[in-house]
Each structure stands twice: as structure tokens, then as C-alpha cells.
Structure 1
Amino acid sequence: MAVFTVVTEADLSAWMRHYDLGDVVDFRGISSGIENSNFFLTTTRGDYVLTVFEKLTAEQLPFYLDLMRHLASHSVPVPDPVPRDDGMLFGMLHGKPAAIVTKLEGAAELSPGVEHCEEVGRMLARMHLAGRDFAPHQPNLRSLGWWTETVPAIVPFVSGAQRDLLVSELAHQTRFFGSHDYAALPGGPCHCDLFRDNVLFAPAEPGTGHRVRLGGFFDFYFAGCDKWLFDVAVTVNDWCIELATGQLDRVRLEAMLRAYQTVRPFTREECLHWNDMLRAGAYRFWVSRLYDFYLPRAAAMLQPHDPAHFERVLLARLTAASTPHAFSLCN
């Protein structure tokens, strides 16, 4: 992620005394993203990622790290937090919580095909089911409550048409979230940010008949307990679209949803409200990108995302909602 907190060699040397990871071979900042300070860390024991958390507090962080440990123990490929010498999964660095996790194998695929979408769909369903017996509860901190608080701060910066869309969609989602059908949607721990750059792929093993192998899901620091359908919608809105227009790509979409349902079939309520949740997923990221664009924080390496992208995605979902033959979740 963007480097907000600079970690020097002296800082790293003192920090590594709390871990049994051998000697440091390489250490460098990761420039992509806008939320935390991340660094690649290579030691004589292996490859890791050091994260300094810029917003999450020491009280909030255990949910995310414990969830990752839980999923890793259930054979879901995710970064596994490394315990310190005191047994804790994080410590304080420059007054901020920080942790070391294992580095996954593979590289991101920014131009995914059908097989990539199938792999992600299956693993996302496995992840949802694996989280059912995870006891701690942390709500999705970027859900309706955050939208309601944040939109008034954004409104002064945007055009009249954008202002009208922000307000009208917030009203729609408020009604949806307050409905009996929404309450009936199944849920549990969700990634909530499973974009293309948060998934890694490695070459498939010989003899499997596959071209790619899922290396794993990472960057769980927007995770929270939410409706599983929201997690699917967020994922589809990035993996299964034409980036230039925001329109859904039916071939990739159907591949991902079919693969997901081989592990966990969708419920009646999920089928009825698929487009509502696609809109919610688009709205969440339009609001957050507008906020980061107009009210940014200082950082040593900062590359804010273009808010217009998710405005296009949301408008495409609104158009689909009024189309007689719009794609149904349970076709």
C-alpha cells in the first residue's frame, strides 16, 4: 500500500528482535494502494509482508489477524500472521499497530479470463463457508453507516448530477438495508475488497488439466461481517466487467457465479436482490474513492484511484435494473 509511515533500517532491526525469522535479506516499500504502509520483507527464513496500519487501531486489529489465521487453518490460501516472541500477532511501530504475515505465491492477473474467474468464485465460496465458525464479530466499517456519514462531506465537491446520484442511491440502499429480505440474506466474515490486485495466481501444477492455480487472497484489512452476497457483488464488479464502460461481461460473470454455486448455492432472497447488491458494491467504492480523491491524506507514495470508474459502474447497474432481460443471479 502507499507508504505513510517510513520505516528505517534501525526501526526494522529493533522490530525484528521480536521475531524468530532469521536475518533480513531485503526490505522495500510497496507503492500501490492508499490505506496502509506495506513493505516486502525477505529474511533467511522466507518471504513476508510487514504492514503498518494507518487507520485500524490496536483494539480493531485482532479481528483481521485472527480471521486470517482462522482461514489459513481451514486451507483457504491467505497470508498467515506470524506470532511475535510474546505470542501476539502484532506490536506497535512508531505508535501504530504493525504485523508481519507470510507472503503468498504468484502474481496478480489484471486481465482475467474465464478460468481465473472460476478459481476466484470457488475459493470465495469456500472462504465464506470456512468463516461460519469464526466467533469474533466486526461489522463492515465501510457499509451503510459509513456511507451516511461520508456522503455529506463529499457533496460540496461534486457536480449537481453526481450530487443527485449520491443522494438518491443512498436513499435506495437505506431502504434496501432496512428490508426484511435484506435481513434474511446469509452472511458472515467477508473480504469486502476482493479486487484483481488482491488475488494472486501461480502456474498450475502439471497433470491437473488447469492453466492457472490460485495463489491466494490477501489484503483483508477492509474485511468485516456482512452479507455474503455483498462480497460476491464487490468481486463481480471488478473481475467480470469491461473496465472502459463498467458493463458486466456475461461470459466471465456466469463462470464466476457458476463456480461459486458449486460450493454454496444462492438463496431465494439473494436471487431476488442481486442487482440491489451490485449497486451497493459499486456505491461503496464510488463513495470511498470520492472521499480519498477530495479529502486525501499525506503519504510518501500515494496514487489515489479514479472515482469516475465506479460512477460508471453504478450507472451501468442502474441501467441494467431497468432492462427487461437483465442478468439474473439464479438463471
Structure 2
Amino acid sequence: MSVFTKVSHAELQEFLKRFPLGELIGYQGIGEGVENTNYFVDTSEGRWVLTLFERLNYQDLPFFLGLMEHLAHRGFPSAMPVPDNEGRNLSLLHDKPAALVMRLNGQSVLFPNLAQCAAVGRVLGDLHVLGQTYAGHCRNDRGVDWRRSTAEALLPKVDTEAHALIESELAAQATLDLAALPQGVIHADLFKDNVLFVDDRLSGVIDFYYACNDALLYDLAITLNDWCTEPDGHVNQARAHALLEAYLARREPNAAERAAWPLVLRAAAFRFYLSRLYDWTFPREGDLVHIKDPSQYRRILERHREQVAPL
């Protein structure tokens, strides 16, 4: 979440007339994240999150919003999109697609404990099970082709060590076929800042705007890399055990997934190393833009290249 598009008080008041949400009380830009413009919005009828989609394909937006509705109707702690006065959950603001969703209670955690890691493992398993009945389909725009094209854009710009690492990992990842592993709807960005807690109770999962259809194991690897690694890139085995044990209680990986686990962990680390390095190398302009340091995911990738514990 960032603020690339400024919305004035008057513009927001006019926008809210399309919704049965009462009068505008206040709003505030959200500085975390990297892709879309986001605001907290308070009205006389409640608290909401407004998102203006900066780079996503308009055709994909019904998939994300429909998925949030699908999950929320089945007891999953996702935010429900808010329909306007004509029943539509997608609008335009500043000539950009925009959506309002309910603001969930709770806060994200920076240093998760074992109970919180277990809660994330359970909720990810629930997502992978519930997603099997969702009829929508969306390709992963940050899959194999994206990794290669992004790497090619970066290679002329990076230092010798980063150049060698990227080329070596591209060659290793060419042997991985994620499409051969069990598929389904994945969150694809279940980082700590996208999960809310009230104490140790998981109260919400947010930001489904990277969600897509891909290998379920890849989603597990993305989640573990963020929740269970130390600043030096090594996996914290206690946190990893808590998360994996809870996930496996919801969905049991097959033999092919267990064999692919080391390379899938690397693929997940490589994806975020590349995206952060790209944003670092080619920054975007905006107000409250948050650019994440790529060095953390470089360290995670390097540790995974040395050794990975079996799944």
C-alpha cells in the first residue's frame, strides 16, 4: 500500500455519494506496500479502506473482489467489498479503478510468536481449501515469464555479485515446473503486514491484489519466507515448525511437492528479491511511496541455496 494518487477531501466526499456509507468524517493515506494507492476512510457508518488500482489489469479486478466475497461468505477473515448504490463493487476515481472494503479490526505484527505463526499456517491452509470452490481464474502475472523479463532488465544495472546470483538462479529455476504441482487460488503476498491480529487471535487477511491461480506450495513458500526467517536470512526452525504443522493439518502436500520444496522456497525468495531490486533500481514517483530493501530477500535466497530443511 502506498499513495501514488492524491485524493482531495471534496473529491472523496463526491465519490462517497455513490455508497450508502453516511457522511465522511476523515481519511488518511496508507504508506506501507508498493503497488496501489490506499486510504483509511472513516464515515458515520463505519471504517473502510479505499484502494485505487495503479497498475493492475482492470479485467482482473473482479477476480480479486469476487475472491474476497467468496472467502468472507465462508467464514474466512477477509474484508468484504462494499457495493455502491447500484450494487457494483468496482468504481472509478481519478480515472482509475477503485474499490472500498470493510476495515478489519486488529494490527499486523513485526515479530510474530509461535502462536501467531501457527495461526497463519492454519489460515493459509483454509484459503487453499476454500479456494478450490472459487470459479474465478487469474494467471500469475509474476510467474516464470515475469521473473525472466525482470531479471533481463536488471542484469545491465546491477553489480557483479548480483549479476552472477541472478543468472545462476535463473538457470536453477529453469528446472522447476510449478505447473506440475497441485494448483489452486493463492494469496501470493501473505506477508506479516497483510495479516491482522488481536493479541494472538488472527482477525483478518488483507490485500488480495496479487491473488491468482498457481502452485499451492509456492504460496506456502512465500509465507514461510516472510514469517519464519531471521534478518541474516536463515529460517527460524521453531517458527517454521509452528507454521508448517498448522498448515499440514489443513492440507497435506504430496510426494512431488515435498521433493520440490527446496527449489520452490528459492523461487519464492527469488521473486521478491527481483521485485524489490527492480523497484529499488527503477523507483516510481508518488506521495508516501514505500520501497522495500531487496537485501533481505537476497540473504534469504542465498541461505536457501546453501541448505533447506525437508518439508
- Residue of structure 2 equivalent to 1:109: 109
AA partner of residue 185 (structure 2) = P
- Residue of structure 2 equivalent to 1:92: 92
- Residue of structure 1 equivalent to 2:204: 216
1:328 equivalenced with 2:310 (yes/no): yes
**Aligned-partner Cα distance in 1 for 2:180–2:98:** 37
**Aligned-partner Cα distance in 2 for 1:116–1:222:** 22
Question: Is the deviation greater in 168-177 or in 60-69?
Answer: 168-177
**Aligned-partner Cα distance in 1 for 2:60–2:302:** 34
- Residue of structure 1 equivalent to 2:299: 312
**Aligned-partner Cα distance in 2 for 1:269–1:227:** 12
Q: 1:304: how far off? A: 0.7
**Aligned-partner Cα distance in 2 for 1:57–1:276:** 29
**Aligned-partner Cα distance in 2 for 1:154–1:297:** 16
AA partner of residue 290 (structure 1) = L
Q: 1:104: how far off? A: 1.0
- Residue of structure 1 equivalent to 2:225: 237
**Aligned-partner Cα distance in 1 for 2:309–2:56:** 38
How many equivalent residue pairs?
311
AA partner of residue 302 (structure 1) = V
**Aligned-partner Cα distance in 2 for 1:22–1:57:** 30
Q: 1:105: how far off? A: 1.0
Q: Deviations over 1:48-78 (max 9, x none)?
A: 1000010013222111111111111111101
- Residue of structure 1 equivalent to 2:276: 289
- Residue of structure 2 equivalent to 1:75: 75
**Aligned-partner Cα distance in 2 for 1:9–1:269:** 54
Is the 1:68–1:78 Cα contact (8 Å) retained in structure 2?
A: yes
AA partner of residue 205 (structure 2) = F
| Partner SS state of residue 74, structure 1 | coil
- Residue of structure 2 equivalent to 1:131: 131
AA partner of residue 188 (structure 1) = G
- Residue of structure 2 equivalent to 1:118: 118
Q: 1:189: how far off? A: 0.9
**Aligned-partner Cα distance in 2 for 1:145–1:240:** 27
Q: Deviations over 1:138-162 (max 9, x none)?
A: 0111111111111111111111121
**Aligned-partner Cα distance in 1 for 2:10–2:80:** 25
**Aligned-partner Cα distance in 2 for 1:291–1:241:** 22
| Partner SS state of residue 274, structure 1 | helix
Question: Is the deviation greater in 142-151 or in 182-191?
Answer: 182-191
Is the 1:57–1:97 Cα contact (8 Å) retained in structure 2?
A: no
AA partner of residue 144 (structure 2) = L
- Residue of structure 2 equivalent to 1:226: 214
**Aligned-partner Cα distance in 2 for 1:183–1:97:** 31
- Residue of structure 1 equivalent to 2:160: 160
2:189 to 193, 200, 205: 193
Q: 1:184: how far off? A: 3.5
**Aligned-partner Cα distance in 2 for 1:68–1:171:** 36
Identity over the aligned pairs, expressed in percent?
41
Is the 2:179–2:215 Cα contact (8 Å) retained in structure 1?
A: no
**Aligned-partner Cα distance in 1 for 2:103–2:129:** 24
* Aligned residue runs from structure 1 range 175-190, under 5 A: 175-177=175-177, 182-190=178-186
**Aligned-partner Cα distance in 1 for 2:77–2:153:** 38
| Partner SS state of residue 28, structure 2 | strand
AA partner of residue 127 (structure 2) = M
**Aligned-partner Cα distance in 2 for 1:227–1:272:** 14
**Aligned-partner Cα distance in 1 for 2:304–2:71:** 32
| Partner SS state of residue 155, structure 2 | helix
AA partner of residue 327 (structure 1) = A
Supply the RMSD in Å over aligned alpha carbons.
1.0
| Partner SS state of residue 273, structure 1 | helix
**Aligned-partner Cα distance in 1 for 2:204–2:262:** 27
* Aligned residue runs from structure 1 range 248-267, under 5 A: 248-267=235-254
Q: 1:2: how far off? A: 1.4
Is the 2:36–2:54 Cα contact (8 Å) retained in structure 1?
A: yes
Q: Deviations over 1:213-270 (max 9, x none)?
A: 101111111111111100000000010111x211000001011100011111111111
Is the 1:176–1:276 Cα contact (8 Å) retained in structure 2?
A: yes
Is the 1:202–1:213 Cα contact (8 Å) retained in structure 2?
A: yes
AA partner of residue 271 (structure 2) = R
Is the 1:286–1:310 Cα contact (8 Å) retained in structure 2?
A: yes
- Residue of structure 1 equivalent to 2:286: 299
**Aligned-partner Cα distance in 2 for 1:116–1:261:** 16
TM-score, reference length from structure 2: 0.98
Structure 1: gaps of 5 or more residues = 204-211, 321-325
**Aligned-partner Cα distance in 1 for 2:170–2:24:** 48
Question: Is the deviation greater in 232-241 or in 166-175?
Answer: 166-175
| Partner SS state of residue 298, structure 2 | helix
AA partner of residue 220 (structure 1) = F
